[in-house]
């Protein structure tokens, strides 16, 4: 079973776009030019390890197709061209990808680059008139995130974020059960997100590129998970940071943060984000009449879970395949996901992360409303 930890360990070892008509959707003209409105034609920006997973998963998509590449490494582009049959005219680098505006063969760009690059790249894609998908965290602060949302709205394009768990079957079953009151009044959520990170020279441990440390990479799963599992928005946070390796985790790069959140109903959450402990990928939701547990809860699958009624048995489908097909439905057909995956959703997470960092620095309770 592949987990995020396994994937990043492999990464550490390995290293460190035929228009016919414009279509309108329920949400308005989204600058789409698509040959038949059935397949979303995607260019991937940033050809690293996770991008490879997305590209492989898209081979099985029915509604999304990889047609373009954007990278600063020419050799990567050549290798990907051969592997995925990408036309030369659909390949760009980081200096010239604004020219995608003139390419009717590309509908959307999926930005899968280091966190701190997302802001400017997303805005450039939006200004080029293409639909935007961005890997999470969408930005490195709520301010950045809101600027990205505003830019995409101004350009009249979608901004979607790679929240693959929002489409995962066992996760959605728990959300259904909660919505139907099967757990009773929700009282508690626990989210544990962590692994021991490898190569100390990788970008995830560089504040200028990552915007932080474990919280930006893995802790965001517990932040986001608390919201969709409890079904509310937190109103306060407290947090405590622990750092044991000052060489590996420089100033501004968090190693371990414990954080707590309170919700309007009185429910509370207790979460852990870390780059220094293995075997941490667990969500637990407790209600007055029942419970739900996922372990692993956010790995690449299969997700395993149970509730007070027994094991969750929904089948595993590669997360990125489902995500890209569902996102194609959102962009092309105006489909509404059960849990949002838009830029506004991502800004909510970034506001909470900003508050967690502030609470950890100051030792104070930070109100979110």
∠27-29-30 over CA atoms, to 5°?
Answer: 85
Is 136 an annotated catalytic residue? yes
Secondary structure (3-state) at 255: coil
**CB atoms near residue 91 (< 10 Å):** 20
Are residues 136 and 163 in contact, defined by beta-carbon separation less than 8 angstroms? Answer: yes
Q: CA–CA separation, 195 vs 187, rounded Å?
A: 27
Which token pair is 41? 């034609």
Q: Which residue is catalytic, options 130, 136, 170, 351?
A: 136
For residue 186, what are the CA distances in angstroms to 183, 192, 239, 270, 365? 7, 18, 22, 14, 22
Question: Per the residue annotation, which of 50, 221, 228, 357 is the catalytic one?
Answer: 221
- Distance between CA atoms of residues 353 and 223, nearest Å: 8
**How far apart, in whole angstroms, are the C-alpha atoms of residue 7 and residue 202?**
14
Distances (CA, A) of 161 to 136, 148, 245, 322: 6, 11, 32, 14
- Under 8 Å between Cβ of 81 and 92: no
Angle between helices 169-179 and 220-230 (to 10 degrees): 40
DSSP symbols for 258-270 = EEEEE-TTS-EEE
* Residue 221 bears catalytic tag: yes
How distant, in Å, are the alpha carbons of 28, 40, 43, 149, 159 from that of 108? 17, 7, 6, 16, 10
Helix or strand (DSSP H, E) at 25 = strand 21-25
* 9 Cβ contact partners less than 8 Å away, ≥ 6 residues apart: 198
Give kind and range of the element (H or E) at residue 305.
strand 305-307
Q: Rounded to an integer, what distance in angstroms lies between the CA atom of residue 191 and that of residue 157?
A: 33
Residues designated as active site: 136, 221
């Amino acid at each position: 079973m592949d987990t995020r930890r396994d994937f990043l360990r492999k990464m550490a070892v390995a290293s460190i776009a035929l228009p016919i008509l414009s279509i309108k959707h329920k949400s308005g003209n989204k600058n789409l030019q698509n040959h038949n409105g059935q397949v979303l034609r995607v260019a991937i920006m940033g050809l690293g390890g996770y991008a490879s997973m997305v590209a492989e998963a898209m081979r099985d998509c029915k509604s999304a197709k990889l047609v373009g590449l954007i990278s600063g490494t020419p050799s990567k582009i050549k290798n990907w061209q051969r592997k995925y049959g990408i036309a030369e005219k659909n390949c760009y680098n980081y200096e010239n990808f604004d020219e995608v505006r003139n390419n009717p063969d590309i509908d959307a760009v999926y930005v899968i680059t280091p966190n701190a690059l997302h802001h400017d790249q997303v805005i450039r894609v939006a200004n080029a008139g293409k639909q935007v998908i961005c890997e999470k965290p969408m930005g490195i602060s709520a301010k950045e995130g809101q600027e990205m949302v505003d830019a995409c709205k101004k350009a009249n394009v979608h901004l979607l974020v790679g929240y693959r768990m929002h489409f995962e079957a066992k996760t959605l079953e728990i959300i259904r059960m909660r919505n139907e009151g099967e757990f009773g009044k929700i009282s508690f959520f626990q989210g544990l997100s962590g692994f021991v990170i490898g190569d100390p020279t990788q970008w995830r441990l560089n504040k200028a590129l990552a915007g932080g440390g474990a919280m930006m990479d893995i802790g965001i799963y517990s932040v986001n998970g608390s919201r969709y599992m409890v079904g509310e928005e937190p109103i306060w946070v407290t947090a405590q940071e622990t750092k044991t390796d000052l060489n590996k985790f420089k100033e501004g790069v968090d190693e371990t943060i414990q954080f707590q959140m309170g919700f309007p109903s009185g429910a509370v959450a207790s979460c852990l984000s870390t780059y220094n402990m293995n075997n941490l990928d667990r969500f637990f939701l407790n209600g007055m009449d029942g419970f739900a547990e996922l372990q692993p809860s956010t790995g690449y699958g299969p997700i395993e879970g149970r509730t007070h009624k027994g094991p969750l048995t929904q089948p595993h489908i590669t997360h990125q395949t489902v995500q890209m097909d569902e996102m194609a439905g959102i962009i092309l057909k105006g489909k509404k996901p059960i849990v949002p995956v838009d830029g506004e959703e991502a800004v909510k997470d970034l506001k909470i992360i900003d508050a967690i960092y502030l609470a950890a620095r100051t030792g104070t309770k930070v109100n979110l409303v």
